Structure 1
Amino acid sequence: MPDNYYVLTGGPGSGKTTLLEALAQSGYSCIPEVAREIISEQIRDNGTALPWQDYVLYTQLMLERSVLSYTETAKKHIPNQPVFFDRGIPDTLCYAELTKQPITEIMTSYAREYRYNRNVFILPPWEAIYHTDAERKQSWEEAVATYEQMVKTYQQYGYTIIEVPKDTVENRLAFMLRHTKATPENI
């Protein structure tokens, strides 16, 4: 298990993208979220693998792309440098649970095989900053349910949840870096 692979996750609209942008601007390696990439591609190409159309195909693509993202990252990054993933493979299992899909053996095996640092950063629902857009259509209630299921899913796979406080981007960034091995010497 790469101890330097950190997951940043949370329900939609919790400030995750902004925090990852701050990490990247500070010089840290950040791996983009595959779900948003899939949605953008499917909309652009008039595809159906969308959460509001064919959510089973969307889940399959999310799992495949998450594993590919992980394995490609392993080929490119130096082992002692911290890497921050915008969501991890267990996020796909969380989505499957939320949409009442069966958790397949392959999903479980991928979640067990491709591991991240045991400490997973999760951003709690934050209604004051929550909004929808062309790719994020979930209601506030769905955002809260997603957060709750993510906590359960990551814990089920042996991860320790570290909830990032609702605060300024700078304070959230400092909080995360205090809980990692990420220091200026190893970026």
Structure 2
Amino acid sequence: MNAGHGRGPNSRRPRRYVLTGAPGAGKTAIAAELRGRGYTVIDEAATDVIAWRQEQGDHEPWNAPGFTDMIVDMQRRRQEAADAAGPAIQIYDRSPICTLALARFLRRPASPALAAEVGRVVSEHVYDRRVFLVHPIGFVVPTAARRISFEDSLAFGRVHEEVYRAHGYELINVPPGEVAHRAATIENHIRSWSAG
């Protein structure tokens, strides 16, 4: 086993794969398709943190000083819960590396909690080093949690690419297309790697 690909000497360790990319690129739809195919999918934490904070009356929670800390805390708890459930393969809609990209896009320094979590997931090879980069589909659908232009989403996507590569991850391209086809592309990679 190659620990550099998220699989240490313990063969029972979960294989955790990450979907990343620009906002609105279709990650959530792909994740839902993969869940429908029987995979364990861990939902994006940032969207849920935003929704939770907005329910509390904070209409722009991304401006709060502890925003990224709330995200990495939820990401960590969800990873631990998924591990406790014991699935061999887990698919994550974003990771703490994405949260670091978010901090950089917002022009904020990484908090101690964020820096520590990024250090943990990198040093412990928590996620497979091969990360699925979901490419933009040509537009962004605005939501309460996603208030960004298409142009800014592309810039945000480039920050994700830079941060992942800087931390030693290999980006596997998922081109635009039908959701089922994109999910099949990811599934084929995972099956191939699992058989290797």
TM-score calculated relative to the size of structure 2: 0.83
- Contact (CA 8 Å) 2:54, 2:60: kept in 1 or not? no
Aligned length: 180
Cα pair distance change 1:66/1:49, threshold 3 Å: farther
Q: Mapping of 1:54-133 within 5 angstroms?
A: 54=64, 56-78=65-87, 81-114=88-121, 115-128=126-139, 130-133=140-143
1:133-174 CA distances to partner (integer Å, 9 max, x unpaired)? 111101112210111010111111111001101111121111
1:156 counterpart (156, 161, 166): 166
Q: Aligned residues: percent identity? A: 25
Counterpart of 1:180 in structure 2 is: 190
CA distance, structure 2, for counterparts of residue 112 and residue 106 of structure 1: 10
| AA of the residue aligned to 1:113 | R
CA distance, structure 1, for counterparts of residue 108 and residue 72 of structure 2: 13
| AA of the residue aligned to 1:108 | A
**Bigger CA drift: 27-36 or 96-105?**
96-105
Matched, 1:26 2:37: yes
Cα pair distance change 1:182/1:84, threshold 3 Å: farther
Deviation for aligned residue 1:111 = 1.6
CA distance, structure 2, for counterparts of residue 107 and residue 43 of structure 1: 22
Deviation for aligned residue 1:108 = 3.1
Could you tell me which runs of 5 or more consecutive residues in structure 1 were left unpaired when the two chains were aligned: none
Counterpart of 2:3 in structure 1 is: none
Counterpart of 2:47 in structure 1 is: 36
CA distance, structure 1, for counterparts of residue 60 and residue 66 of structure 2: 5
Residue 85 of structure 1: SS of its match in structure 2?
strand
Which ranges of 4 or more aligned residues in structure 1 deviate by more than 3 Å? none
Over aligned residue pairs, what C-alpha RMSD do you find?
2.2
Cα pair distance change 1:83/1:182, threshold 3 Å: farther
TM-score calculated relative to the size of structure 1: 0.87
